Structure 1
Amino acid sequence: MNSIRVFAPATVANVACGFDIFGFAVANPGDQITLTTREEPGVSITDIFGDEGRLPREAERNTAGIAIQTYLQHIGRTDVGIDVVLHKQMPLGSGLGSSAASAVAGVYAINELLGRPLPTVKLLPFAMEGERLACGSAHADNVAPSLLGGFVVIRSYNPLDVIRIETPASLFCTLVHPDIEVNTKDARFILKNEVSLKNTIIQMGNVAGLIAGLMTPDYDLISRSLVDVIIEPVRAILIPEFHEVKQAALDNGALGCSLSGSGPSMFALSRDIQTAERIGQAMQQAFLSVGITSDAYVSDINKQGPKVLESSVLS
């Protein structure tokens, strides 16, 4: 019997101006998955912890399960039998890439368990199938950074073209998750189908500026570029006290602050961990002023991505 336990990190998608094309991984929170081989072929989800019974146990309806299934079909190993135990360690509908982390953990674990027949980057399409199942769109701005680590740009979806961008060593992320839920499908539904030329030009400038700021590095440029004039104004209405929480982050030294993915979580970037921790406290207090409790996480940019926590693989 072979088994493996893998951690895959939460992610911040969009990163203000980069809707569906930017994302980066954080150190925590994240999901864990344990895979164990068995004689009977097929993928079976034997247990899920931390989901309050909300996630489907059928492999073909679960983001981790479908990612593993499509991977095994691709490499021609449908003879393999796998039992799956998933440990959800972040809230559902949080804007932290919860479904992506499960899919990434699953496909990374099965690839490791079978001796790495594919390089890590080639696992991305299978993780994206988990996202398609979760929200109806196989977008990569969560799964790509969770799988590859670091800050990722999705230049194109057809063909898929993903670029990993180096980030400054002293760049820290504060994530605050208020105790409310935003459904990703609903958050996409309210978006406008058309964007003005004026806002498109502003957004393109901020996208280019953010990449240049990260690569230089130029923290002032990063700060000026963390502005979203297209998506944030629409989705902010879904988050109570959004503008007050954002202002609290900026007043306490944040380079910028916006929604993490479709929300309700919010992220802020800063230049040192002390500032990042102070920002988290200020953001939490702003939510608490209207009776909303929250969890805060502080980390640097996670450049590793998924990692094996434990394995028992017999040759």
Structure 2
Amino acid sequence: MKNVRVKQEVKVFAPATVANVICGYDILGFALDRPGDEVIMRLKDEPGVEIVNIEGDDGLLPRRAEKNTVSASVQNYLKQIGQPDLGIEIELFKQMPIGSGLGSSAASTVAGLFAINQLLGEKLTRKELLPLALKGEELACGYPHADNVAPSLLGGFTLVRSYEPLDVIHLPVPPDLHCAVVFPHVDVPTRDARDMIRKNVPLKGAVKQWGNIAGLVSGLFMNDYDLISRSMEDVLIEPTRAILIPEFYEMRKIAMEVGALSFGISGSGPSVFSFTKSAELAAEVAEAIKYQLNQNEIECNTYISSVNTEGPKVL
């Protein structure tokens, strides 16, 4: 815990994330340079946490402090540090699509926790903030998974080795690794996508999945792009979730033909992503997929990014 002067106002950015990373369901994730969410937070004289403004959410997010992930996370933070009645005003600027599969709720939660921690002089470390971020995810989607909030909060590529106790490990990022993300404008609710997943899986499939996860992690450590590429296969989750995403297999075919290292679902979808060895190739992949979707009258957003190793930051 640091003893730093308390600020009166702070503005922060927290990044979007790609979770699961194809073969690492609920345990792997990495942060993007863009998109993300911004929060302005300030002290006020009256006690209590209050959301005074939300922009970019099309009126979808709750304004009640205990129902919104940003403000609820701030309330939990204040309880933990023993100042539950402190007066806090929050403005949230959603700069990423809700329900995109890019960790929208995680970015908001992390932005709120990072902002309050900065505002009050960094009383907790980022790793100490992580359990509070999990509570925010549980409020947002009913399940306290860390594969979005961990990379958004800590930056970089993360592996959740264990949930009980929580054990999150930073993984190295090969220097040329880039990502093309495409968000088709179709609706795939996170809870519905999770409910579709089988609770029991064949041992043969599990063994193959374990091998792919180990191969991907090894490839990251070894800067072995070919090993990364051939390890990024999901035999357990993707076959079910792909049903919900129009043109999924055609998009994958196009991405691989253009030269991507991989193609798969980001989080629960509908966003998809590809790894490439350059920003230029990532842009080509995104443009080719966008063209395919537009030909089928599906609008989309595209994002080109390296792996964001910084995480949230003060603006």
TM-score using structure 2 length: 0.97
1:205-225 deviations in Å (ceiling 9; x for gaps): 000000000110100000000
| Number of the residue aligned with 2:212 | 206
Question: Counterpart in 1 of 2:233?
Answer: 227
Indicate which of 105, 113, 117 corresponds to 1:111: 117
Asked whether 1:94 is paired with 2:100, we answer yes
Q: CA–CA distance in 2 between the matches of 1:113 and 1:206? A: 42
Give secondary structure in 2 for the equivalent of 1:263.
Answer: coil
The superposition leaves residues 124-157 of structure 1 with CA deviations (integer Å, 9 ceiling, x where unpaired) of 1111111001110011000000000000000000
Deviation at 1:79, TM superposition (A): 2.9
Q: Distance in 1 between matches of 2:72 and 2:55?
A: 18
1:80 and 2:90 correspond:
no
SS in 1 for 2:270: coil
Equivalent in the alignment of 2:141: 135
Match of 1:248 among 254, 269, 281: 254
Whichever residue aligns with residue 96 of structure 2, its letter is: M
Of residues 22, 36, 45, the one that matches 2:42 is: 36
Q: What amino acid is the match of 1:175?
A: V
Mapped partners of 2:73, 2:221: distance in 1: 32
2:286 is the counterpart of 1:286: no
In the TM superposition, structure 1's runs of 4+ consecutive aligned residues that sit over 2 Å from their partners are none
Determine helix, strand or coil for the equivalent of 1:240: coil
C-alpha displacement of 1:289: 2.1
Alignment correspondent of 1:8: 14
Q: SS in structure 1 opposite 2:241?
A: helix
Aligned residue type for 1:30: G
Structure 1 residue runs of 5 or longer lacking an equivalent are: 310-315
Root-mean-square deviation (CA, aligned residues, Å) is 0.8
Of the three residues 172, 175, 185, the one matched with 1:179 is 185
What's the counterpart of residue 163 of structure 2? 157
Partner of 1:18: 24
User: What SS does the aligned partner of 1:191 have?
Assistant: coil
Task: Describe the superposition over 1:66-85 as per-residue Cα deviations: whole angstroms up to 9, x where unpaired.
Answer: 11111110010113110000
| Correspondence for 1:169 | 175
Cα separation, 1, equivalents of 2:309 and 2:46: 37
Distance 2:294 2:249 in 1: 14
The aligned amino acid for 1:90 is M
Deviation at 1:168, TM superposition (A): 0.6
Q: Distance in 1 between matches of 2:17 and 2:11?
A: 20
Segment of structure 1 superposing worse, 74-83 or 138-147 = 74-83
* Cα separation, 2, equivalents of 1:241 and 1:182: 14
| Percent of aligned pairs sharing the same letter | 53
Choose the corresponding residue for 2:267, options 257, 261, 270.
261
Number of aligned pairs?
A: 309
1:61 corresponds to 2:67: yes
Shift of 1:55: 0.3
In the alignment, residue 160 of structure 2 is paired with which amino acid?
I
Q: Distance in 2 between the 1:250 and 1:181 partners? A: 25
Following TM superposition, by how much is the alpha carbon of 1:288 offset from its aligned partner in structure 2, in angstroms?
Answer: 1.4
One-letter code of the match for 1:229? V
Residues in 2 aligned to 1:191 and 1:263: alpha-carbon distance in whole angstroms: 13
Partners of 2:245 and 2:288 in 1: CA distance: 16
Q: Separation in 1 of the partners of 2:65 and 2:175? A: 39
Per-residue deviation, 1:112:
0.6
Q: Are 1:303 and 2:309 matched, yes or no?
A: yes
Helix, strand or coil: the match of 2:66? Answer: helix
Q: Among 32, 36, 51, which residue is 2:57 paired with?
A: 51
Deviation of the 1:290 alpha carbon:
1.2
SS at match of 2:22: coil
TM (norm. structure 1) is 0.97
Larger displacement relative to structure 2 (72-81 or 195-204): 72-81
Secondary structure of 1:199's aligned partner: helix
The Cα offsets for residues 241-278 of structure 1, whole Å up to 9 and x where unpaired, read as 00001111111111001000000000100001111100
Corresponding residue of 2:4 = none
Paired with 2:25 and 2:50, the residues of 1 have a C-alpha distance of 35
